Amino acid sequence: MSSLRTLAKKILSSRVLKTFGLSLINYDLVKYTKHYLWFFNLRKVPRLTIAYTPAREVTGDDVLLCERLISAYHMATSDRKEVADRTSELWAKGIELHYGKLAAALESRNLNQLATILASMFRQGFVYGLASGDLIEHSFSRIGSKIWSLKYQDNIVALAEFLGVVRAESTQQGVKVHGLKDGLDAVVAKIEEAIGMSMDFPDVGAPYGVRANKALITMEHPEHIYVALRVHNAIRDYLGERNGKKLHLMEIGAGVGDLAYWIVKLQRIPLHTYTIIDLPIVNVMQGYFLSKALGASKVSLYGEPAREGAVMFVLPTVAIDSMPHQNFDVLINQNSMPEMPEQIVENYIRFAKSHVSGIFFSYNHEAYSIVYGKPQVLVPEVVACVKGFQRLSRNASGVRSGYVEETYKVVDRSSK
C-alpha cells in the first residue's frame, strides 16, 4: 500500500499533470474540501477569479521596521544549538527547502532586500506551511482554477454554516450547494453582519484571494476567524468570573500572526497583552505582518524594551522562560503541536500547568501520521501524561474536517 501511495505521489507531482491541474497540491485541496459533494455538482459552483493585491512600495518606516526585525532575529538565534533543539525535524526540513530567500536577507542584514521581499510575502515560497504563497501556480490551469475556486467558496460557506446564517448542508439529503444560491456576495454580507466587521484581509504582504462583498478573502482566514470566535466562546463559557477584565493571552505557533490579528479586530476579548511564541524566522513574518496591520507601536519584538501602548509581544521559543508576562489567562495552540516533537509539546503543557490560570485552547488534527519515523503528537495524550488538567470541552471543528477543538483547565498544579 505504501509503495502505491508513493507511486501516486510521483505521478501527481509530474510536470505534465501539473500543467493540466492534476497536481498533488490540488489533490490535497480536493481531500480537504468539507462540502465534497460539490464536486458532483460543479455547474452550481461559480468559477471565481482570483484577485491579487500589488505589493506596496517600500517606505522608510518599512526599512526601520526591518532593522528591528533583523536585530530581534539575530538576538534570538545567537545560540544556534538551542534554536535547533527547539525546532522539529519537520519544520527544520521545511525551512531548509523553502526559507532560503528570507534567511539570506536576514543573515546578510540587508534591510532593503528584507523590506522588499516581505512586501510581497504572501506570494513567496517561504510562507510554506503558513499560507498558500507561491502554490497559487497550481490554480493556473482550467481544472486547477475550478478546484481553487471551489475550495475558497467551501471555506467561506463553512464559516457561514457555523454562524447559522446559511443552512448547514447534509450529505444525506437536500439540495447541494444551497448555501451559494444567492451568490457569494450575499453569504459574505451575512457573515459580516453576524461578526460585526468586514472580512477584508489587510493590505499587507501582497495578499491574494477572492473578492466578495468588496472584501478580499484568502484561502486561510475564514478558518482563523472561526478559531478566533471559538476562543472567545471558550473565554465566555469558562472564564466568566473575569468578564470585562483585560486578559493576558499567549499563542504558541502563530502562523504569520493572522489569528492574533482577527482576535484583535473582532474586539470580543478585552486584551491586556497577546504574546506569541514561535521559531525566530517565523517571528520575522509575524512581526512584519502585525506591525503593518495593527501599527508598529502596538508590537514589541524580542530584545526590545516594552513599547508604550504595545499589545503584541512577538518572541522566539528560547524566550519562554524570560518573557515579561509570566501569568496568562489563556494559552492557544492552533494547528502546530502535532508538528512538534513530543518533548517540546510536553514542555509547553507543563508551562501551561505552571503559568496559565485560565484555560488552554487547542485546535489541532489528531491524524495518525508517521513523520520521520514517528507518529505526530496527539495533544490530549500529552495533556493526560502531564496530569493536573480537566477537559472542559471537546468538539469537532465546524469548518475543517478532521480537526478537533478542546478546552482544558488546570485543576491541580502539584500533580506529577
> Rounded CA gap, 294 and 287, in Å?
10
Is pTM beyond 0.85? Reply is yes
pLDDT score at 24: 87
Tell me what percent of the residues of the chain surpass a pLDDT of 70: 94
Ramachandran assignment for 295, one of left (phi > 0), alpha (psi -120 to 50 degrees), beta (any other): left
Its sign, for the CA torsion 338, 340, 341, 346, is: negative
> Rounded CA gap, 298 and 290, in Å?
8
pLDDT over 80 (residue 310)? yes
Reported as a pLDDT band with limits 50, 70 and 90, residue 240 is confident
Domains of the chain with bracketed CATH = 2-53+133-219 (no CATH), 224-410 (3.40.50.150)
Per residue in 15-71, pLDDT (tens digit) is 555 565 678 899 999 999 999 999 999 999 999 999 999 999 999 999 999 999 999
pLDDT over 70 (residue 285)? yes
Reported as a pLDDT band with limits 50, 70 and 90, residue 374 is confident
> Rounded CA gap, 36 and 42, in Å?
11
Per residue in 181-209, pLDDT (tens digit) is 999 999 999 999 999 999 999 999 999 99
Q: Which residues contact 262 (CB under 8 A, 6 or more apart)?
A: 221, 224, 225, 228
Reported as a pLDDT band with limits 50, 70 and 90, residue 6 is low
Reported as a pLDDT band with limits 50, 70 and 90, residue 404 is very high
pLDDT score at 5: 56
Reported as a pLDDT band with limits 50, 70 and 90, residue 307 is confident
Mean pLDDT, the chain, rounded, equals: 92
Tell me what percent of the residues of the chain surpass a pLDDT of 90: 81
Ramachandran assignment for 218, one of left (phi > 0), alpha (psi -120 to 50 degrees), beta (any other): beta
Reported as a pLDDT band with limits 50, 70 and 90, residue 210 is very high
Q: Which residues contact 151 (CB under 8 A, 6 or more apart)?
A: 29, 32, 33, 219
Per residue in 95-123, pLDDT (tens digit) is 888 889 999 999 999 999 999 999 999 99
Reported as a pLDDT band with limits 50, 70 and 90, residue 372 is confident
Per residue in 48-63, pLDDT (tens digit) is 999 999 999 999 999 9
